[in-house]
Structure 1
Amino acid sequence: MDDEPMWAAARVVAPTPGSAITIPENVNEFAIKGNHLTLVKGNQFDGRTKIDPHKHIYEFLGICNMLQYRDTENEAVRLMMFPLSLTEEAKTWLDELNEGTIETWDEL
């Protein structure tokens, strides 16, 4: 049972096209640096019950707080990078949310 996804249930959900996360329109265009991607991908959450999701969020925010992009709010960086911190069932969960339902970090 330890290896079951947290939200395991007898249901079928069709993935929605597009992302559930909406990046604010006023965000300046920027490229995420490769070493920053490596940090985030080194702390991926798969959604299994044996891994603490609160610890994942805490570590993810710690990584994001170290990153600075000129003329870009940290919230936008978090929203853009968070999907990269998920894998397996956790990524499936995010992909199954309706398009555009998350607009802020607090909503996420």
Structure 2
Amino acid sequence: MGDENPIRTLGDYSRPNHEGYRNTIELPEGNNVVLLRSDTIRLVQNGCSFHRLRSEDPNQHLKDFLKLVDSLDLDVANREITHLRLFQFSLRDQASNWLERLPAWSISIWEDLTTRFLAQFFPP
């Protein structure tokens, strides 16, 4: 029987550890994988970024994001997956931190992501 709690040295705690890092967005498995090109990601990053500034409107960000992504020549059958995959690249600074702090794989559909986004950032 192995030791369930092995002795760790101080050096063990000082090394970077990638365990526990998981994406917040859970994408469906199967043949419907949407390949994203780096220029598409850059277009989203430069075309519609949301930082969580007081002057930014989260509703307008969603509209701008959808307008930009839907104008691309992407696979229409996998539109929701494309929205899920690209949305994280539109968030910056505090908004990006918010998404990363959500539980791993806690979002699997576009409606859930937009509902949580608006609940978090809609101005009072």
Aligned residue for 1:107, secondary structure, equals helix
- How far 1:71 sits from its partner (Å)? 7.6
Equivalent residue for 1:34? 38
1:88 alignment partner, one of 89, 93, 103: 93
SS at match of 2:110: coil
Which amino acid letter does the alignment assign opposite residue 75 of structure 1?
Answer: E
* Secondary structure at the counterpart of residue 47 of structure 1: coil
Give the TM-score taking structure 2 as reference length: 0.67
4+ long deviations beyond 2 Å: 26-31, 67-72
Aligned residue pairs, count: 93
User: % of aligned pairs identical?
Assistant: 27
1:76 is matched with which residue: 69, 77, 81? Answer: 81
- The 5-angstrom pairing of residues 23-62 of structure 1 reads 23-42=27-46, 43-62=48-67
Cα drift, residue 41 of structure 1: 0.6
Tell me the equivalent position of 2:23.
Answer: 19
Which structure is higher in helix share? 2
Unaligned runs of 5+ in 2: 1-19, 114-124
Distance 2:37 2:51 in 1: 23
The code of the aligned residue for 1:40 comes to V
Higher relative CO (CA 8 A, sep ≥ 6), structure 1 or 2?
A: 1
Cα distance change of structure 1 residues 27 and 91 upon mapping to structure 2, 3 Å threshold: farther
Change (3 A) 1:82 1:27: farther
Distance in structure 2 (CA, Å) of the matches to 1:32 and 1:85: 14
Gaps of 5+ in 1: 1-15
Correspondent of 1:106 among 104, 107, 111: 111
TM-score (normalised: structure 1): 0.75
Compare CA radii of gyration and give the structure with the larger one: 2
